Amino acid sequence: MISKSSPIGVFDSGVGGISVLRVLKHDMPNENYIFFGDSINAPYGEKSETRIKEMCDNNIKFLFEHGAKAIVIACNTATSAAATYLREKYPDTIIVAMEPAVKPAVDKSETAHPHVLVLATSATIHGERLHHLIGRFSDDADINAVAAPGIVPLVEAGKEDSEEMLNYLKELLKPFRSAQDGGEGKIVDSVVLGCTHFPFAMKKIREALGYDVTFYDGAYGTSRETKRRLTEAGLLNDSSADGSIQLFSTSKETSPTALAERLLNLPFDYSPEK
């Protein structure tokens, strides 16, 4: 039986979902959390929709076995491919998913017609959800969606702040760098992080672009929705004590959760409007 003290289950295709867990923990510090990172199958963005659904179902079953009262799909690719399927299969479960923060990137811009760069996995870029989302705001902004598949394996390898990451991003983002910096001059105002791994690469994304941008991360909206749904269901933990975090991973590494723990404890700029 689930109760207010039962944990919130969070899963991702790897350690990227830790970026969402950080925000959840900040917003609801008294909740208990179980995080499951399916690193052995990362990245999901290169898998078929059928395979992604199968993996997500396995992830949810694991979290159910550990008593999860609600599920957070901390993965944009999994959301795009499997959120509807999972909600139909588990209609009595609170399942909160991700959405790239395109709307706030457009609505909160100080520019009349903002230039927005959406970075995501290949699967998310080609999915109907993102196409529909971008279509809603295409009259109000110049929105460019770019697949950045190389970020995920580098973050999974603990190289989020490496020269290898920077070199990859400089080549990928060449169209959006200034002409004086060897780019094509298509300057953007903001970057939407359409994969939960990508917040860990923000420093290198900014460095690769060569100028300052505003980042928008869907984790904040996901956290607010999780809190709303738990409150609505009478399942929000009302304990005054700090909650616990359990980390699990399918990684074959000697210490499979070491990277997740390091990322979880990295300082981050909590920016709920971005």
CATH class of 8-98+218-264: alpha beta
Region 100-125: mean pLDDT is 93
pLDDT in the model for residue 273: 65
Give the CATH architecture of domain 102-217: 3-Layer(aba) Sandwich (3.40)
pLDDT in the model for residue 128: 87
Residue ranges of the domains in the chain? Answer: 8-98+218-264, 102-217
Strand, helix or coil at 42? coil
Nearest CA to 15 among 258, 202, 272, 269? 258
Q: Residue 267 has what DSSP assignment?
A: -
Q: Give residues with Cβ within 8 angstroms of 133, minimum separation 6.
A: 99, 100, 102, 103
| Cα distance between residue 122 and residue 148, in whole Å | 7
| Cα distance between residue 169 and residue 235, in whole Å | 42
Contact assessment for residue 2 and residue 93, using Cβ atoms and an 8 Å cutoff = no
Mean pLDDT (the chain, rounded):
95
Contact assessment for residue 152 and residue 43, using Cβ atoms and an 8 Å cutoff = yes
Checking if the pLDDT of 274 tops 80, the result is: no
Checking if the pLDDT of 224 tops 80, the result is: yes
What does the block give as tokens for 90?
A: 């588990």
Checking if the pLDDT of 35 tops 80, the result is: yes
Q: Residue 16 has what DSSP assignment?
A: T
CA 111 to chain centre: 26
- The residue count for the chain: 274
| Cα distance between residue 87 and residue 85, in whole Å | 6
Question: Residue 65: which H helix or E strand, with range?
Answer: helix 49-65
102-217 shares the fold of 8-98+218-264: yes
Checking if the pLDDT of 272 tops 90, the result is: no
> Could you list the active site residues?
75, 195
What does the block give as tokens for 175?
A: 């169209």
pLDDT tens-digit map of 142-168: 999 999 999 999 999 999 999 999 999
- Read off the pTM: 0.95
Contact assessment for residue 67 and residue 90, using Cβ atoms and an 8 Å cutoff = no
Checking if the pLDDT of 205 tops 70, the result is: yes
Please report, as a single letter, which amino acid is at residue 208.
Answer: A
pLDDT in the model for residue 168: 98
